[in-house]
Structure 1
């Protein structure tokens, strides 16, 4: 499996404001780049915090790209994956509509009634891995067994940190926009507990100016 983390941050490294509200960090050119990346992926992954804050649909926007996927024998949209330890994904969230198969990765600590309700949703598959939190290594192994080989991660910061922590990140692409958000409580690219030793290292593969921002592409030297 090849895991690509893609994110847009402010110039000071924030994903959004301290209110967890979406901020216009990038523009149309970068939105189109993200759409191309989605179209080239087998699955798009987010944490439940992103679902609760933004209610994303995570589908391919461009009709020609969807048609090309169909011509290649793939679904029009990549699968959607939610990492959701306690099964908090709302049953009416856009990510569990019928536009694509959705995998909800939960832990054994998730309430049984919530797990059953999510499993009953159309085109939704439940992946149970881990006792109190989702065991990402086991969950991603299960996704790979289902044929998901190229995976795009769109956040948030807690999930991105956890993926680096277990060595699952192969590539990191970050659009850094010309905006300063600030705030000690505003989410950053990699939140979680943070590293105090054995810091993941990256090799810079590319730098591209997009409008007044810049796209940075790294490969993770410690990824699996």
Structure 2
């Protein structure tokens, strides 16, 4: 499986403010780029924090949807949520019938929540005891013919993927604003690295909208 992490941060590396509200960091040109990345992916993944904060739909634009259908793909890529305790609301947009949704949960998830989410039509994958075991969960996704996975956040999930050595490429749009705040989410939160830092190789730098797009390859 090829895993691409894509995110938009402020100039100081924040994904949002300390209130964890959605902030417009990029502009129209970057929105089109993200739509194109989604269109080229088999699935788009976020963490439960992003679902609870933003209620994302993770679908593509109508014209992009038509193009996917014309090449024989589903209208929209599948959607994946890393949700250890099965906290995804049953009425969240990400579990509607627009596309297939996979919910990655742990064995610690309450059975009633798993049952409720399965009733929405979502496919629940159990991997790990207390937290989602990402290597195992992504292997399960790969067995369901998901070869190209795009990850859109948030910081806890992104850190966990890097920690597990599962990221192949990283693209970051850096916008022209400073958010600040020690409690504001960053590109990679979690416990953080003290050694064994992921080694990135810069592939390209591109001015887009009022910011800059950086693309890295993760060295093995």
User: Structure 1-normalised TM-score?
Assistant: 0.97
Structure 1 vs Structure 2 CA RMSD: 0.6
Q: 1:64 Cα shift?
A: 2.2
CA deviations on 1:67-105 (whole Å, 9 max, x unpaired) are: 121112111000000000000000000000000000000
* Aligned: 1:91 with 2:90: yes
Residues 156 and 190 in structure 2, CA contact (< 8 A), matched pair in contact too: yes
Aligned to 2:16: 16
Aligned to 1:208: 206
Q: What residue ranges of structure 2 are gaps of 5+ in the alignment?
A: none
Residues 80 and 102 in structure 2, CA contact (< 8 A), matched pair in contact too: yes
Aligned to 1:156: 154
Q: 1:23 Cα shift?
A: 1.2
SS of match in other structure, 1:116? helix
* Aligned: 1:57 with 2:83: no
Aligned to 2:142: 144
Aligned to 1:43: 43
SS of match in other structure, 1:204? strand
SS of match in other structure, 2:142? helix
Give the distance between the partners of 1:119 and 1:139, measured in 2 at CA. 17
SS of match in other structure, 1:53? helix
Give the distance between the partners of 2:50 and 2:24, measured in 1 at CA. 16
Give the distance between the partners of 2:120 and 2:20, measured in 1 at CA. 28
Q: 1:121 Cα shift?
A: 1.1
Give the distance between the partners of 2:28 and 2:209, measured in 1 at CA. 10
* Aligned: 1:74 with 2:70: no
Q: 1:65 Cα shift?
A: 1.5
SS of match in other structure, 2:215? strand
User: Structure 2-normalised TM-score?
Assistant: 0.99
Give the distance between the partners of 2:102 and 2:154, measured in 1 at CA. 17
Give the distance between the partners of 2:142 and 2:111, measured in 1 at CA. 25
Q: List structure 1 segments (4+ residues) > 2 angstroms apart after TM superposition.
A: none
Aligned to 2:132: 134
Aligned to 1:103: 102
Select the residue among 179, 182, 196 that pairs with 2:180: 182
Q: 1:119 Cα shift?
A: 1.1
Residues 26 and 210 in structure 2, CA contact (< 8 A), matched pair in contact too: no
SS of match in other structure, 2:109? coil
Q: 1:151 Cα shift?
A: 0.5
Give the distance between the partners of 1:144 and 1:52, measured in 2 at CA. 26
Q: What residue ranges of structure 1 are gaps of 5+ in the alignment?
A: none
How many matched pairs?
Answer: 220
